[in-house]
Amino acid sequence: MEILAFGVQADEKPLIERAFGDQEEVRCLDVFLNEDTAPIAAGHEIVSTSVNADLGAAVLEVLAAGGTRMVAQRSTGFNNVDLDTAERLGMTVARVSYYSPYSVAEFAWALAMAVNRRIVRASIRTRDFDFRLDGLMGRDLHGRTAGVLGTGKIGEAFARIAHGFGMRLLGWDVAENPACAELGMRYVPKDELLARSDLITLHVPLMAETRHLIDAAALKAMRDDAILINSSRGGLIDTAALVGELRAGRFAGVGLDVYEAEAGLFFLDKSLEAVEDDTLARLVTFPNVLVTSHQAYYTEDAVGQIVDATVRNVLDYREGRRSENVLVPRS
């Protein structure tokens, strides 16, 4: 029976087709799952979705009515899934609970270095044969303080790199990571971390408790010359409040691989359209801001692990097995 995979990127398609091989027949679509595209899944017992799929109640109802019984999400995050509705409809929902933390941590560092050393602006200048250094001065990160909000696997990987740079480490999380403590990380309240850190990076999941973790008050608590990096979930930052602080001339740099209203924008070509999101349009105009389109996870290693885990999830469903990746049913 054919599996329908939504939101498949061109680089991802051969990995998915090769991973499923002779075990399952899979059809890859580049369109994302939402209310408009959900009817395409009619007759498919299993669908696979990407991180920006809409798996709210309305979409799940359409999928269930069309015969879908299993959703295999190709991501760790699942804030886009209405789990209560899925359970009520008797659907199985699985995610990928683990993939290379280095992919995201290394990209977060790429953003940090790019905004600190003005790499994008320098590259644009040299393409125009403008070799001036005016406005390109950065700072040594050695000896400065990195604040890591969320010290799980990705936060730990980021902290190890920061330690290699010779930075002091501050951490905030619901539970301390002994590996981070061994690096010299000191766990402090969030407000203290924000006030004392030169570089702040977010590595926490998006849930009701963490939505707008970085709100207007948190932004004001940060140093005027701080660097803020978010490669986790866009909803962790109140973007409108961030724009307000940027307009006031604050922050040495901001690197965002995620955006709270990215669904319907990221992973798509909007270059020939007028972008109606005024907040995003304003955000990308600031010279100290770098926005990328949710690509931190996008390495051969991480995507390969995501695809392999998705295949295992499908096979587990077929054979009635249960793993830590299953979100629904809950018991």
The residues carrying an active-site annotation are: 233, 262, 294
Measured CA to CA, the distance from residue 266 to residue 52 in angstroms comes to 8
Helix (H) or strand (E) run with residue 231 in it: none
Secondary structure (3-state) at 239: helix
Catalogue the long-range contacts made by 21-30 (C-beta closer than 8 Å, 24 or more residues apart). 23/311, 23/315, 24/311, 24/314, 24/315, 25/1, 26/2, 27/2, 27/3, 29/4, 29/5
DSSP symbol at 59: H
Query: Do the strands 168-172 and 92-94 form a parallel or antiparallel pair, or are they unpaired?
Result: unpaired
DSSP symbol at 32: P
Measured CA to CA, the distance from residue 329 to residue 162 in angstroms comes to 40
CB-count exposure of residue 9 (10 Å: 0-12, 13-18, 19+): middle
Residues of 89-124 as b/e, b for ≥16 C-beta within 10 angstroms?
bebbbbbbeebbbbbbbbbbbbbbbbbbbbbebbee
| CA 219 to chain CA centroid, nearest Å | 20
